[in-house]
Structure 1
Amino acid sequence: MPFIAFDCEGPLTLNDNAFEYCKFLVPEGHKFFKQVSRFDDYLADIQKRPGYKPGDTLKLILPFLKLFGATNQSLREFSKKTLIFLPKTPEVLRDLKKILPTFIISTSYKPYLEALAETIDFPMEQIFCTEVDLDKVKLSKEEAKVLEKLYQEILSFPPIEFPLKASSPSDLPTELLEVLERMEEIFFEIIWNLEIGVFLREVNPIGGEEKARACKLIAEKLNLPLSEGFYTGDSITDMQALSLIKENQGISLAFNPNRYALKTGEFYGLSKNGLIFKDLVKLFIEGGKEELERFVSFGDYEFQKIPNEPEVFENLLKKCEEFRKIVRGALIGDLG
Structure 2
Amino acid sequence: MPFVAFDCEGPLTLNDNAFEYSKFMMPEGHRFFKQVSRFDDYLADIKKRPGYKPGDTLKLILPFLKLFGATNQSLREFSRKTLLFLPKIPEVLKEIKNLVPTFIISTSYKPYLEALAEAIEFPMDHIFCTEVDLDKVTLSKEEVKILEKLYQEILSYPTIEIPLRATSPSDLPSELLSVLERMEEIFFEIIWNLDVGVFLREINPVGGEEKARACQQISESLNVSFSEGFYVGDSITDMKALTLLRENQGVSLAFNPNRYALKTAEFYALSKNGVIFKDLVKLFIEQGKEGLDSFVSFKDYEFQKVPSESEVFENLVDKCENFRKIIRGALIGDLG
Identify whether the pair has TM-score above 0.5, normalized to the shorter chain: yes
Measured after TM superposition, the shift of residue 78 of structure 1 is: 0.1
Measured after TM superposition, the shift of residue 309 of structure 1 is: 0.3
RMSD (Å), alpha carbons: 0.3
TM-score (norm 1): 1.00
Unmatched tracts of structure 1, length 5 or more: none
After superposition, the C-alpha distances for 1:161-180 in whole angstroms (9 at most, x for unaligned) are 01110010000000000000
1:149 paired residue number:
149
TM-score (norm 2): 1.00
Measured after TM superposition, the shift of residue 76 of structure 1 is: 0.1
**3-state SS of paired residue (1:135):** helix
**3-state SS of paired residue (2:135):** coil
Measured after TM superposition, the shift of residue 266 of structure 1 is: 0.3
1:38 paired residue number:
38
1:283 aligns with 2:283: yes
Mapping of residues 123-142 of structure 1, within 5 Å:
123-142=123-142
2:254 paired residue number:
254
After superposition, the C-alpha distances for 1:196-252 in whole angstroms (9 at most, x for unaligned) are 000000000000000000000000000000100000000000000000000000000
2:96 paired residue number:
96
2:6 paired residue number:
6
When the two structures are aligned, how many residues end up with a matched partner? 336
Structure 2 counterpart of 1:215, one-letter code = C
Measured after TM superposition, the shift of residue 71 of structure 1 is: 0.1
Please list every run of at least 4 consecutive aligned residues from structure 1 whose deviation after the TM superposition is greater than 2 angstroms: none
1:17 paired residue number:
17
1:335 aligns with 2:335: yes
Mapping of residues 1-336 of structure 1, within 5 Å:
1-336=1-336
- Identical residues among aligned pairs (%): 82
Question: How many angstroms apart in 1 are the aligned matches of 2:162 and 2:41?
Answer: 10
Structure 2 counterpart of 1:253, one-letter code = L
Structure 2 counterpart of 1:129, one-letter code = C
After superposition, the C-alpha distances for 1:106-158 in whole angstroms (9 at most, x for unaligned) are 00000000000000000000000000000001011110000000000000000
Unmatched tracts of structure 2, length 5 or more: none
Question: How many angstroms apart in 1 are the aligned matches of 2:131 and 2:289?
Answer: 34
After superposition, the C-alpha distances for 1:267-304 in whole angstroms (9 at most, x for unaligned) are 00000000000000011011111110000000010000
Structure 1 counterpart of 2:141, one-letter code = K
Question: How many angstroms apart in 2 are the aligned matches of 1:217 and 1:41?
Answer: 26
**3-state SS of paired residue (2:133):** coil
Structure 2 counterpart of 1:77, one-letter code = E
Measured after TM superposition, the shift of residue 87 of structure 1 is: 0.1
Question: How many angstroms apart in 2 are the aligned matches of 1:74 and 1:194?
Answer: 24
**3-state SS of paired residue (2:304):** strand
Structure 1 counterpart of 2:11, one-letter code = P
Question: How many angstroms apart in 2 are the aligned matches of 1:6 and 1:43?
Answer: 25
